[in-house]
Structure 1
Amino acid sequence: MNNITPLFAGRAPTQVTFDRYELNHIMNLYGRMVAAGLWRDYAVDMNREEAVFSAFRRASERPEVRVVKRPELRVRQGQYILLGEAGAVLRRGHELPPLLAPLERKLLKLVDV
C-alpha cells in the first residue's frame, strides 16, 4: 500500500523546456523589444529534441528571430542557437546572455548631450 513510484523511473524527461532563468532572460528582452516597437508576438514550441522561442514582427509573418535550445549539443557547440529570419545561424553558445547580445544592441540609442 505504501509503494512510491517515481514519475520518470530513471529515464530522461520526454520534452526539452526552457527553465525559469532562461525564460526570464528571453522574456525580459522580448518586453523591451515590444516597448521599442520592434516585435509584436511570440511563440514557444517544445518537443523531444529542442525548445524554440520565436519572436515575430507581425503574427502573420515568419519569425524574425528564433532562440533554440538543443541539450544534445551542450558539449560540442553549445546548447543555444540564435537563428535569423531565413533560418541562418546567427550565433551559437553555451550561455544565453551572450547569445542574446546582438539583439540587445538594437535597443541602444545614441543620446545627444
Structure 2
Amino acid sequence: MGTVTPLPFPDRAASQQTGFERTELLRILDLYGRMVAAGHWRDYAMDFHRDVAIFSAFRRTAERPEYRIEKRPALRSRQGMWALVSEAGAILKRGDELANVLAPVERKLMKLVGG
C-alpha cells in the first residue's frame, strides 16, 4: 500500500510544444476579427507542434488556408522566427517582429475596407 509506481510517461521536456504568447495571439486574433468584419475570412485553425506553431486563416472552411502565420523559434537567430505563408506555400514575409510580418495582410485589409 505504501509503494508508488511511476507511470511510464515519455520525457516531459521532449514533449513540449511551441505555442503563441498571449500578446502574439491577441495581435493575430485582432487582425482575424477585422478580416472577418470585412467579410474576407470565415474560419481559422491553430496547429501546435514541437518546433512550430501555425495560425491558418481561411476564406471558406473547405479550402486551403489563404494565409498561414508560422512561429518557429529555432529560426530566431537566422531568418527570424515569424513567417507569413501564402495559399500556394510561398513565404511572403519573414522576420523577427510579428507586426512587420503581418504588414502585407494589414495593407490588404485597408484595400478591402477602403475600396
Give the TM bin, normalised by the shorter chain: 0.7 to 0.9
Structure with the higher helix share, 1 or 2 = 2
CA distance in 2, matches of 1:93, 1:59: 28
Q: Distance in 2 between matches of 1:32 and 1:83?
A: 19
The sequence identity of aligned pairs, in percent, is 60
Aligned partner of residue 101 in structure 1, secondary structure: helix
Q: Within 1, Cα distance between the matches of 2:66 and 2:110? A: 19
Aligned with 1:53 (options 34, 52, 55)? 55
What's the C-alpha RMSD, in Å, of the aligned pairs? 2.0
Q: Deviations over 1:43-100 (max 9, x none)?
A: 0000101000000000000000000000000000000010000000000000100110
5+ residue gaps, structure 2, are 1-12
TM-score (norm 2): 0.83
Q: How many residues align?
A: 103
CA separation in 2, counterparts of 1:13 and 1:68?
Answer: 19
Tell me the equivalent position of 1:74.
Answer: 76
Aligned equivalents of 1:72, 1:46: Cα separation in 2 = 14
- Give the TM-score normalised by the residue count of structure 1: 0.85
Taking a change above 3 Å as real, the CA distance of residues 96 and 13 of structure 1, as seen in their structure-2 partners, is farther
